[in-house]
Each structure stands twice: as structure tokens, then as C-alpha cells.
Structure 1
Amino acid sequence: MRIIDSPVIETDRLVLRVPRVEDFERFAGMFADESTHHIGGPLPRGDAWRRFLQMPGAWLLQGFGMFSVIEKSTGSWVGQAGPWRPDGWPGNEIGYAFHPDARGKGYATETCAAAIDWAFANLGWSEVIHCIAPANTASQDVARRLGSTRRGPATLPPPLDVHEVDVWGQSRAQWDARRTAR
């Protein structure tokens, strides 16, 4: 079964689309890596499968979720990014996670900019946030490049409340002003 009317967004180098089962191998590889400790990893394959199913479920039930990010030049799944709002979350998030071999290429900033544009145009959001572990300086750099600023600490809903996070964010007006200035 495919999710009806699922969006596809293209950037210069990437395609953003709803997750598909064939994305799972690379997703599991990403979550097997120690570097995912900021987002709940590393995970054994079975736990990665259950985590993978969250996004298609969000798309089906909420009408949005993180996109799978596909590299145009290779057709390879390189990560996930996009709108995310679980129950009890501190705001409308644009989240992101990328496979270790896709990091350092500017994909997170490119993808998140497209996802923010899509969320503001299609979801009626007035602001976006990013929940980032205080030690995750790479994600903080992405948030800064997107124009977000640190708003302070937040508590995620249980069982994630044991993880320390800072909320970074910006309003739609701030995003629009920044995009117009370019």
C-alpha cells in the first residue's frame, strides 16, 4: 500500500519522499552506528525496524512525517528529515538524521530548508523547532545555518524525558524574512 497524495520534493542534489520499505537497510545501518547516540542509537536491527515504522505511520495518520532523503546521483537513501510532531512534543519539529557516509556534504541544510518550506506552505505551522542534544554540535551548526537560534532546554515526553535536549527554532516570519533577503 502506498500513501495517497504523498509529496515528492526535489532539491538540486536530493529527492525527498515518503519512506519505503527498501529504505530500511540503510536506515538500519545508520542506527547501528555509534554516532546515533544523540538520537537514541545505536539500535539493534529489530529496534531499528520498529523505529523505521514510525515515519510511514506518521504520514498515514497525521499527513506528515520525516521524508526519506535520496541522493539523486546514486539513488541511495542518505537520511531522513522533515516535519515531526509526536504526542507531547515541545513544538512542530523539523528533525533530521543522516547516514554516516552522507554527513559533511551539506545535505542536512539542503533537505531541512526544503522541508521547512514545505511545512510552512502545507501544514499551516507558524514556527519550527529542532530538539538537539546539548553535546550535538554538528546538529547545532545545521540549526544555525537554517537561521534557528537556541531557545533553551526542554523536556521530551516519557520515555524520552531522560534525554537532555535544547530547543532551537524560528518563526515563519523569521524564515520568510531570511529567505527574502537572499
Structure 2
Amino acid sequence: MALTNAPRFETQRLILRGPEMADAEPLIAFLMDEVRSEGFGGYTKRDDAWRWYALNIGHWHIHGYGYLSIEDKETGKPAGICGIWNPEGWPEPEIGWVVFEGFEGKGIAFEAALAVRQWAYTELGFTTLTSNIVPDNARSIALAERLGATFERAYDNVQMGLDHLYRHPAPAELDDGGMGAYA
């Protein structure tokens, strides 16, 4: 059962949907892996990781958007999260992504991020998006650049300190103007 009013849409290999209780354990496991979750704060205590899970649900209710769960169509397993994030203290809405252990290197984050960005432009009416990436996260930087985002500036993230802001192309700068189908 969905815990938010999030949309559900599909790409070629993925289902993107609102968070469900079954998503809590895989997300908490990711958040408690301090190395892999550095860009999300890296938690050492389970209750703090659970609060981040609940924070995302509240974010949906406040903003009408947040992180979607990524479900692998082939296995039915949670593969990560991807969505639009803009909590208090953020410079502006960003598109973020995480792929859980065992799902890396398969293009899942790229596929999910393309779909989420298109949804943000076509359904939510965004005209710009950023991705905020900790400076040493080479994989996320490479993905942001593959998505066409360019480094704009360094700034002090209220949660994680030094962060790099990458600007995504506006809808008019994309080949389909941001108006294509999600699949």
C-alpha cells in the first residue's frame, strides 16, 4: 500500500512508485552503510535511518513530490530511489538518485532519473532542476553529466557541508523538450 499520493509510472525495466512499508528495510540498510550513503548523510543508528525514511513520506505530503521507490520489473525487488528533493535549507529542488547494492552498473539510476526529470518537467511544471552531489562522489557526478547537467557552483549544504550543484538542462534544451512519454 502506497503511503503517499505519488504517481506510479514505468520505464522499460523499472516501476517508479511511491514509498511502501516494504521499502523501509532496503532503504534503511542503504542509509546505514556510511560509505554508500555519504550523499544522504550516512547514518550509524537505525532510528535515524528510519526517520529519514519517514521524512521522505512527509516530504511528499508537504511538497507533492519526493523520492520514488525504484522497483526492478524483472525481480520485483526494490532497486533504489529517485525523485525530487527540496527540504528546508536546500538551495532549490534537486533530482537525486540512489541504487541499492547489487543493482549498480546496470543503467538503473540513469533510466530512473530520465523518467523522474521528464515527470518533473511535464507534470509538475518545473523549468529547471539541479543535482547536489558531494564532491568525491565520482559515480553520481558522471551520471549527472551523462544526463546533461553541468557544474554550476560549490555551496555549503546545511546537512553535509561542501556540496556541488549541477544544473540540468531546461525542458526546451532537451531533444524532446521534456514532453516525451515516460517509457
What TM-score, normalized by structure 1, do the two folds share? 0.89
Give the whole-Å Cα distance in 2 for the aligned partners of 1:98 and 1:81.
8
Q: Call closer, same or farther: CA 1:4–1:19 in 2, change over 3 Å.
A: closer
Q: 1:173 to 1:102 in 2, by over 3 A?
A: same
Which of 158, 163, 172 aligns to 1:165? It is 163
| 1:178 Cα deviation after fit | 7.5
Report the CA distance shift for 1:132/1:5 in structure 2 as closer, same or farther (over 3 A): closer
State the match for 2:44 in structure 1: 43
SS of alignment partner, residue 157 of structure 2 = coil
In structure 2, C-alpha distance between the alignment counterparts of 1:78 and 1:144, rounded to whole Å: 22
Partner of 1:148: 149
Matched residue, 2:99: 98
3-state DSSP of counterpart to 2:75: coil
Equivalent position amino acid for 2:171 in 1: R
Secondary structure of the equivalent of 2:36? Answer: helix
Equivalents in 2 of 1:65, 1:147: separation in Å?
A: 22
Question: For the Cα contact (< 8 Å) 2:4–2:60, is it kept in 1?
Answer: no
Cα 1:156–1:175 shift into 2, 3 Å: farther
CA distance in 2, matches of 1:116, 1:152: 21
**What does 1:6-25 correspond to in 2, within 5 Å?**
6-25=6-25
The question of whether the paired residues in 1 share the 8 Å contact of 2:5 and 2:18 is answered with no
Alpha-carbon distance, 1:95 to partner: 0.8
Q: Residues 177, 121 of structure 1: CA spacing in aligned structure 2 closer, same or farther, 3 A cutoff?
A: closer
Matched to 2:66, the amino acid is G
Task: Say if 2:3 and 2:20, in contact at 8 Å, map to a contact too.
Answer: no
Query: Separation in 2 of the partners of 1:145 and 1:93?
Result: 16
1:3–1:60 contact (8 Å) kept in structure 2: no
Q: What is the aligned-residue RMSD (CA, Å)?
A: 2.0
Question: Which ranges in structure 2 are unaligned for 5 or more consecutive residues?
Answer: none
CA contact (8 A) 1:128 1:172 kept: no
Aligned partner of 1:108 in structure 2 is 109
Change (3 A) 1:135 1:118: same
Question: Distance in 2 between the 1:4 and 1:156 partners?
Answer: 27
Percent identity reads 33
Unaligned runs of 5+ in 1: none
The CA distance in 1 between the partners of 2:41 and 2:78, in whole Å, is 20
Q: Number of aligned pairs?
A: 177
Aligned residue for 1:135, secondary structure, equals coil
Structure with greater helix share of residues: 1
Residue 90 of structure 1: SS of its match in structure 2? coil
Q: Kindly state the Cα deviation for residue 128 of structure 1 after the two structures are TM-superposed.
A: 0.7
